[in-house]
Amino acid sequence: EAGVTQFPSHSVIEKGQTVTLRCDPISGHDNLYWYRRVMGKEIKFLLHFVKESKQDESGMPNNRFLAERTGGTYSTLKVQPAELEDSGVYFCASSPVAATGELFFGEGSRLTVL
């Protein structure tokens, strides 16, 4: 069974540009989470989807970040316009509807804003 996949693995952009990160959760997982790790700090919650609905977006830093989950399958996280402080590793995780607690993480998308 395929795990959570994220694309791209690494993106380098200039300040002010736009980047879109994509996450494909494990098939059948209704819960999808986005997290971010800024270098040396904690992995911080951004938001949580249940199917296509945003359950909790309390961790989204500001309105430059837009997350969508089309049809309750894959999700995208768009940063527009990107700022230097947006650099970090963006992790996606998923879990089934009958969640036991374990989140299944992707390998992350490293974003570098110059």
Partner 1 sequence: GENVEQHPSTLSVQEGDSAVIKCTYSDSASNYFPWYKQELGKRPQLIIDIRSNVGEKKDQRIAVTLNKTAKHFSLHITETQPEDSAVYFCAASSPKGTYKYIFGTGTRLKVLA
Instruction: List residues binding partner 1 (CB under 8 A).
Output: 3-4, 31, 33, 35, 40-45, 48, 50, 55-56, 91, 95, 99, 101-103, 105-108
Q: Please, what is the minimum distance in Å from the beta carbon of residue 15 to partner 1?
A: 26
Question: What residue ranges in the chain does DSSP mark as E strands?
Answer: 5-7, 10-13, 19-24, 31-37, 43-50, 53-56, 65-69, 75-79, 88-95, 104-105, 109-113
Q: Please, what is the minimum distance in Å from the beta carbon of residue 29 to partner 1?
A: 12
Token look-up 């970090």 returns 88
What is the bridge-based pairing of β-strands 10-13 and 109-113?
A: parallel
Q: Please, what is the minimum distance in Å from the beta carbon of residue 43 to partner 1?
A: 4
What is the bridge-based pairing of β-strands 5-7 and 109-113?
A: unpaired
Q: Which is nearer to partner 1, 33 or 79 (CB)?
A: 33
Q: Which is nearer to partner 1, 86 or 94 (CB)?
A: 94
Q: Which is nearer to partner 1, 37 or 64 (CB)?
A: 37
